[in-house]
Amino acid sequence: MRDLARHPELLSLNCATVRQRWNLQQIIEGCQRHGIRAIAPWRDQVQAMGLDAAAKAIRAAGLAVNGYCRGGMFTSPDAAGRRKAMDDNRRAVDEAAAIGADCLILVVGGVPAGSKGVAGAHAQVEDAIARLLEHARAGGVKLGLEPLHPMYAADRACVNTLRHANELCDRLGAGIGVAVDVYHCWWDPTLEAEIARAGRAGRILGFHVCDWLVPTADMLLDRGMMGDGVIDIPLIRGWVEAAGYEGFVEAEIFSANNWWKRDPEEVLAVVKQRYATVC
pLDDT in tens, 111-162: 999 999 899 999 999 999 999 999 999 999 999 999 999 999 999 999 999 9
Bridge partner list, 183: none
Query: Does residue 93 have a pLDDT over 90?
Result: yes
Classify the C-alpha dihedral 48-131-157-212 as positive or negative.
negative
Burial of 166 (0-12, 13-18, 19+ CB in 10 A): buried
Output the 3-class SS for 103-138. EEEEECECCCCCCCCHHHHHHHHHHHHHHHHHHHHH
The mean pLDDT of the chain is 98
Query: Does residue 58 have a pLDDT over 90?
Result: yes
Query: Does residue 63 have a pLDDT over 90?
Result: yes
Among residues 108, 91, 1, which one has the least CA distance to residue 46?
Answer: 91
Q: What is the pLDDT of residue 171?
A: 98
Dist. CA 251–CA 104, nearest whole Å: 17
Contact between 107 and 148 under an 8 Å Cβ cutoff? The reply is yes
Going from the C-alpha of 177 to that of each of 40, 42, 96, 97, the distances in angstroms are 17, 19, 15, 17
Could you read off the pLDDT of 205-223 as tens digits, one per residue? 999 999 999 999 999 999 9
CATH superfamily of domain region 4-277:
Divalent-metal-dependent TIM barrel enzymes (3.20.20.150)
Q: What is the pLDDT of residue 153?
A: 97
Q: What is the pLDDT of residue 117?
A: 87
Q: What is the pLDDT of residue 190?
A: 98
Is the whole-model pTM more than 0.95?
yes
Q: What is the pLDDT of residue 223?
A: 98
